[in-house]
């Protein structure tokens, strides 16, 4: 564990040296509930919002008033906005199935893109996103809240330093009481309960976290197979999508169980990693519970939050655009990793629909 702690502290020290030169960012859409993050960044000076695209007049009014935003920032034509404000990057906050349209406009203009999780609703769209990114040499990042968790990075360091032994089982539990139950906005709820816009219900909304984290822990290795079961526990609320999903990813000697739900008692995003020697549980963003000996109790490790630019997706975006950090091929935000996530999710939906285990083929992606 000592090596992992040293590596973790070293990563924090290095991150403090970034200059974070301000970049110009445009916002694509205001319907996604996470868009509030970009307007609530007191003390951060690494991005400048130069344009906001939205066609819903009520949302334009709501956000301009809530955050005292100049009306001149708002555009109802996306490509007109891009050509006028010439952003370095676009942060997309619309429906997941709209990510491909953002890419089609941004990539030829050499504008980097960051989308909210997951990358896409279909493998077809994900492949086109990959093609556009390569063709025009731009970065495409996918933002997950769990990418900012110091606890997840700490466990990753433990795995890298072989402190747990070979991974045998991973449990990722994500979700909340339900989007309607927790009071998300009407426009965000309309996305989440729409199978075309969101791809699925809880399976897509929260199953993506587990697929992202497990692929990261496995260094980009794909599972051998995917088995998924979904259910509508609350069909009176969620008529067209699942509100309960369990996804099993089978690897050669490891298994991941992803429990994605809109039926949890309370909100949660936690991960359990079991190795042949020890286990580590990220119970929240800064707490890790470890057990290294059958005869000893758990050890609780309390961590500081990650340092900039790893504590905030927009700081990370700025550092990438400025060339201050290089995106690891199988880092949490990276395009190669998130292509695999979309493939896992699509196969999970197929498994849930057919009642069969779906196997990966060698030529997939």
Q: Token digits for 203?
A: 């399976």
User: Does any domain span residue 192?
Assistant: yes
pLDDT per residue over 71-115, tens digit each? 999 999 999 999 999 999 999 999 999 999 999 999 999 999 999
CATH of the domain at 54: 3.40.50.720
pLDDT per residue over 304-348, tens digit each? 999 999 999 999 999 999 999 999 989 999 999 999 999 999 999
Evaluate the omega torsion of the peptide bond into residue 132 and state whether it is cis, within 30 degrees of 0: no
Q: Token digits for 183?
A: 């009071």
Q: At what angle do helices 335-354 and 202-217 cross, to 10 degrees?
A: 130
Cα 182 from Cα 267, distance rounded (Å): 9
Total number of domains in the chain: 2
Average pLDDT across the chain, whole number: 94
Task: Please give the residue range of the domain that contains residue 175.
Answer: 149-305+333-359
Q: How far is CA 182 from the centre of its chain?
A: 20
Check whether residue 154 and residue 136 sit in a common domain: no
Q: 15 falls in which pLDDT band (50, 70, 90)? A: very low
Which of 88, 120, 145 is the last residue in one of the domains? 145
Q: 27 falls in which pLDDT band (50, 70, 90)? A: very high
User: Does any domain span residue 326?
Assistant: no
CB neighbour list of residue 40: distance below 8 Å, 6 or more residues apart? none
- Average the pLDDT over 151-159 and give the result: 98
Cα 51 from Cα 109, distance rounded (Å): 16
CB neighbour list of residue 331: distance below 8 Å, 6 or more residues apart? 216, 337
Residue 328, CA distances (Å) to 75, 332, 336 in order: 34, 8, 9
Check whether residue 172 and residue 266 sit in a common domain: yes
User: Does any domain span residue 102?
Assistant: yes
Which of 99, 121, 145 is the last residue in one of the domains? 145
Check whether residue 209 and residue 291 sit in a common domain: yes
CB neighbour list of residue 192: distance below 8 Å, 6 or more residues apart? 179, 184, 198, 201, 205, 241
Check whether residue 120 and residue 157 sit in a common domain: no
Instruction: Answer yes or no: is pLDDT of 295 > 60.
Output: yes
Check whether residue 160 and residue 82 sit in a common domain: no
Check whether residue 84 and residue 228 sit in a common domain: no
CATH of the domain at 163: 3.30.360.10
Transcribe 213-272 into DSSP letters: HHHHHTTTPPPSEEEEEEE-S-TTT-SSS-SEEEEEEE-SS-EEEEEEES--SS-EEEEE
Check whether residue 112 and residue 176 sit in a common domain: no
pLDDT of residue 43: 86
User: Does any domain span residue 365?
Assistant: no
Q: What percent of the chain has pLDDT over 90?
A: 92
Instruction: Answer yes or no: is pLDDT of 8 > 60.
Output: no
Check whether residue 76 and residue 117 sit in a common domain: yes
Cα 331 from Cα 212, distance rounded (Å): 9
Q: Where are the alpha helices (DSSP H) in 16-163?
A: 36-39, 57-66, 78-85, 99-106, 123-136, 150-160
Which of 123, 145, 167 is the last residue in one of the domains? 145
User: Does any domain span residue 323?
Assistant: no
Q: 365 falls in which pLDDT band (50, 70, 90)? A: low
Cβ–Cβ < 8 Å for 167, 14: no
pLDDT of residue 58: 97
User: Does any domain span residue 312?
Assistant: no
pLDDT per residue over 54-71, tens digit each? 999 999 999 999 999 999
- Average the pLDDT over 12-29 and give the result: 74
Check whether residue 112 and residue 54 sit in a common domain: yes
Q: Global pTM? A: 0.94
pLDDT per residue over 221-280, tens digit each? 999 999 999 999 999 999 999 999 999 999 999 999 999 999 999 999 999 999 999 999
pLDDT of residue 363: 64
C-alpha distance across the termini of the chain, in Å: 36
Cβ–Cβ < 8 Å for 141, 320: yes
- 323 φ, ψ to 5°? 75, 20
Check whether residue 117 and residue 181 sit in a common domain: no
Closest by CA to 110, choosing from 89, 79, 131, 129, is: 89
Least confident of 7-21, 57-71, 123-137, 349-363: 7-21
Q: What percent of the chain has pLDDT over 70?
A: 93
pLDDT of residue 30: 98
Check whether residue 181 and residue 117 sit in a common domain: no
Residue 269 bridge partners (DSSP): 174
User: Does any domain span residue 153?
Assistant: yes
Does 168 or 2 have the greater pLDDT score?
168
Check whether residue 193 and residue 297 sit in a common domain: yes
* Burial of 248 per CB tally in 10 Å (0-12, 13-18, 19+): middle
User: Does any domain span residue 73?
Assistant: yes
Q: Token digits for 206?
A: 């929260």
């Amino acid at each position: 564990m000592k090596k992992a702690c040293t590596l973790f502290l070293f990563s924090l020290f290095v991150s403090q040296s970034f200059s974070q030169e301000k970049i110009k960012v445009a916002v694509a859409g205001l319907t996604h509930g996470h868009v509030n993050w970009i307007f609530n960044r007191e003390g951060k000076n690494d991005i400048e919002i130069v344009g906001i695209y939205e066609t819903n007049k009520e949302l334009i009014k709501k956000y301009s008033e809530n955050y005292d935003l100049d009306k001149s920032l708002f555009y109802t034509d996306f490509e007109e906005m891009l050509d006028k404000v010439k952003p370095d990057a676009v942060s997309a906050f619309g429906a997941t199935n709209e990510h491909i349209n953002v890419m089609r406009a941004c990539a030829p203009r050499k504008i980097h893109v960051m989308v909210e999780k997951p990358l896409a609703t279909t493998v077809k769209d994900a492949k086109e996103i990959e093609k556009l990114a390569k063709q025009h040499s731009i970065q495409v990042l996918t933002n997950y809240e769990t990418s900012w968790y110091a606890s997840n990075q700490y466990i990753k360091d433990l795995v890298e330093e072989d402190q747990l032994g070979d991974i045998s089982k991973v449990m990722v539990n994500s979700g909340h009481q339900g989007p309607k139950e927790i009071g998300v906005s009407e426009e965000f709820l309309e996305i989440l309960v729409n199978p075309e816009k969101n791809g699925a219900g809880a399976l897509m909304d929260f199953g993506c976290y587990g697929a992202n984290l497990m692929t990261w822990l496995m260094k980009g290795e794909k599972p051998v197979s995917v088995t998924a079961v979904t259910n509508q526990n609350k069909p009176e609320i969620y008529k067209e999508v699942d509100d309960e999903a369990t996804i099993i990813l089978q690897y050669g000697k490891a298994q991941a169980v992803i429990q994605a739900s809109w039926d949890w008692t309370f909100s949660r995003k936690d991960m359990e990693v079991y190795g042949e020697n020890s286990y580590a549980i990220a119970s929240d963003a800064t707490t890790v519970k470890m057990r290294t000996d059958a005869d000893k109790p758990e050890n609780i490790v309390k961590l500081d939050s990650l340092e900039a630019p790893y504590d905030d997706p927009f700081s990370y975006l700025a550092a990438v655009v400025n060339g201050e950090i290089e995106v690891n091929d199988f880092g949490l935000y990276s395009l190669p990793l998130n292509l695999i996530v979309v493939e896992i999710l699509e196969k999970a939906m197929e498994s849930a629909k057919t009642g069969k285990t779906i196997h990966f083929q060698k030529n997939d992606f």
